[in-house]
Amino acid sequence: MSGPTRILVYGVYGAGKSTLAARLAERLGLPWYPVDDLLWEPGWVEVPVDRQRSRIEEICRRDRWIIDGAYHGWRDVPLARADLVVGLDFSRWRSFGRLLRRTVGRLVTGEEICNGNRESLRSVLSRDSILLWHVTAFGRARRRMRAWQCDPSGPPVLLFRSPAALDRWLADLPGGADQG
């Protein structure tokens, strides 16, 4: 296979990282490693950062992978090995709207997120709410993606500022028009 085989999908909460990673994995035949599964144990117990890092290092030593996020404590690991970063640089309101719809939907359906964990009204209204994380992390994530794109020493970075631009890129990938 020609083209990237180690892909980091990056963006703020709610941008669609996991959805895109799943589409890329299917389209390109690459294994996808959902970051939430690596970071959270049942009961929303966070995996210690040193263990997160070792899990990510083990994946990134492989020749083929897609990871849907990169967090403090181990962000350098996938960046050092990725041959492509796909950044979802959508507007604050687009990504927040997506996150809000997804969160409300998960509250209604009880959809499992990872390792048996589900969102609850209590978690959504807490100071650790994913909605609050979005508000506080949005600017940092955007600046980080844009800095990566300007850094010639890092992997190539494709930034998508709209879902339409992303869809056009996906349609041009090997495998024909995207059905997702």
What are the tens digits of pLDDT across the range 67-120?
999 998 999 999 999 999 999 999 999 999 999 999 999 999 999 999 999 999
- The whole-angstrom separation of Cα 101 and Cα 110 is 14
CATH number at residue 117: 3.40.50.300
Whether 106 maps to a domain, the answer reads yes
Query: Does residue 17 register a pLDDT over 50?
Result: yes
Whether 180 maps to a domain, the answer reads no
What was the pLDDT predicted at 2? Answer: 72
Burial state string for 40-51 with b = 16 or more CB within 10 A and e = fewer than 16: beeebeebeeee
Please tell me what DSSP assigns to residue 29. Answer: T
Domain count, the chain: 1
What was the pLDDT predicted at 86? Answer: 98
Whether 179 maps to a domain, the answer reads no
Token digits of residue 153: 């020493």
The mean-pLDDT minimum among 51-55, 106-110, 172-176 falls in 172-176
What was the pLDDT predicted at 123? Answer: 87
Phi, psi of 174 (to 5 degrees): -55, 145
- pTM to 2 decimal places: 0.91
Q: Is the dihedral angle over the CA atoms 5, 33, 47, 134 positive or is it negative?
A: positive
Of all residues in the chain, what percent carry a pLDDT higher than 70? Answer: 96
According to DSSP, the β-strands at 84-88 and 32-33 are unpaired
Whether 21 maps to a domain, the answer reads yes
Would you place residue 174 in the very low, low, confident or very high pLDDT band (cuts 50, 70, 90)? confident
Whether 176 maps to a domain, the answer reads no
Domain boundaries, position 132: 6-171
User: What is the chain's length?
Assistant: 180
What was the pLDDT predicted at 156? Answer: 97
- The whole-angstrom separation of Cα 115 and Cα 28 is 26
